[in-house]
Amino acid sequence: PSHPMKPHRLALTHSLILNYGLYRKMEVYKPYKATIHDMCSFHAEDYIKYLERITSQPPAQSKKITRFNVGEDCPVFPGLYEFCSIYTGASLQGAVQLNHESCDIAINWAGGLHHAKKFEASGFCYVNDIVISILELLKYHARVLYIDIDIHHGDGVQEAFYLTDRVMTLSFHKYGNHFFPGTGDMYENGVDNGRYYSVNVPLRDGIDDHGFFSLFKPIVSQVVNIYQPSCIVLQ
């Protein structure tokens, strides 16, 4: 009950979209359920199979709990694997629709779990639907730009594409004083082929809408103009 990730947040978003009539401007689809094969396009198979096996209580004294970082911040709950399958499948379905030019914009307002790593859960995130969707987009797009405006640094996505120039990651986030996840310094800019294809805009507490927008607009405009992506993913 005290965990900050609550289902009513998604229900609230859904209600707002219905009550403002935004759904009339959209085509709404029942989400595709991602398979183990889909999720293993990025994640380790033993990690995904572990998520499939666990139920409401983690096995006592299991070394895999430590290994996979499932526990306190990423608790086990009934239906965990199905939850991962649905939100990941919805994002993947959106990527496929974009690849097939069935739409110009695809939205999954239950997705965006950007902290999950290849081998473990992190920061309330179990399966990184963003990375999986970008990998799908890369089948059709030479360059994908990922923009993250969550208060937390998009570390899982940055880490996944840190070595490539085919994905540029741009993250605006709170940084400093050991704020989670502790990454996202402006000097983290990629390595090897990915050098200079990771851009971080670390921010301190207190920035208002005007201050944020005065940074966001010119930085994003410059990145888009220079990188020339054919697809943009926004978290």
Mind listing the pLDDT tens digit for each residue in 110-152? 999 999 999 999 999 999 999 999 999 999 999 999 999 999 9
Give the pLDDT band of residue 67 (cuts 50, 70, 90): confident
On whether the pTM is more than 0.85, the answer is yes
pLDDT at 10: 86
Residues 129 and 41 in one domain: yes
Confidence class of residue 178 from pLDDT cuts 50, 70 and 90?
very high
Asked if residue 205 and residue 114 are part of one domain, the reply reads no
Confidence of residue 61 (pLDDT cuts 50, 70, 90): very low
**Is residue 132 located within the same domain as residue 152?**
no
Q: Of 113, 140, 167, which closes a domain?
A: 140
Query: pLDDT band at 31, cuts 50/70/90?
Result: very high
If asked whether residues 4 and 105 sit together in one domain, one would say yes
Q: Is the N-terminal amide bond of 181 cis, ω within 30° of 0?
A: yes
Number of domains in the chain: 2
| Host domain of residue 8 | 1-20+29-140
- What is the 8-class DSSP label of residue 176? S
Residues 125 and 39 in one domain: yes
Q: Examine the domain organization and report whether 42 and 88 are in the same domain.
A: yes
Same-domain check for residues 8 and 34: yes
Active-site pick, 115, 152, 153, 173: 115
Q: Are residues 155 and 130 in the same domain?
A: no
- pLDDT at residue 75, as a whole number: 87
Query: Among 108, 140, 172, which residue terminates a domain?
Result: 140
| Span 209-232, average pLDDT | 98
In the residue annotation, 115 being an active-site residue is answered as yes
8 Å CB contact between 53 and 82: no
- Helix 129-137 crosses helix 80-99 at what angle (to 10 degrees)? 20
How many other CB atoms are found less than 10 A from the CB of residue 23? Answer: 12
In whole angstroms, what is the distance from residue 101 CA to residue 119 CA?
32
**Does 130 share its domain with 149?**
no
The reported pLDDT for the residue numbered 142 is 98
Q: Is the pLDDT reported for residue 66 higher than 80? A: no
Cα–Cα nearest to 227, from 149, 146, 129? 146
Phi, psi of 176 (to 5 degrees): 115, 165
Do 132 and 147 have their domain in common? no
Residues 15, 113: one domain?
Answer: yes
Helix or strand (DSSP H, E) at 123: none
- Shared domain check, 182 and 95: no
Q: What is the overall mean pLDDT for the chain? A: 93
Instruction: Provide the CATH number for the domain around residue 119.
Output: 3.40.800.20
pLDDT of res. 60 = 56
For 93-116, how does the pLDDT look when each residue is reduced to its tens digit (9 = 90+)?
Answer: 999 999 999 999 999 999 999 999
Residue 144's SS3 state is strand
**Helices 80-99, 45-53: inter-axial angle, 10-degree rounding:** 130
169 within 8 A of 154, measured Cβ to Cβ: yes
Supply the pLDDT for residue 5: 63
Mean pLDDT, rounded, for 50-78: 73
- Which of 124, 140, 156 marks a domain boundary? 140
Tokens found for residue 58: 């983690």
Q: Report the relative pairing of strands 231-234 and 198-203 from DSSP bridges.
A: unpaired
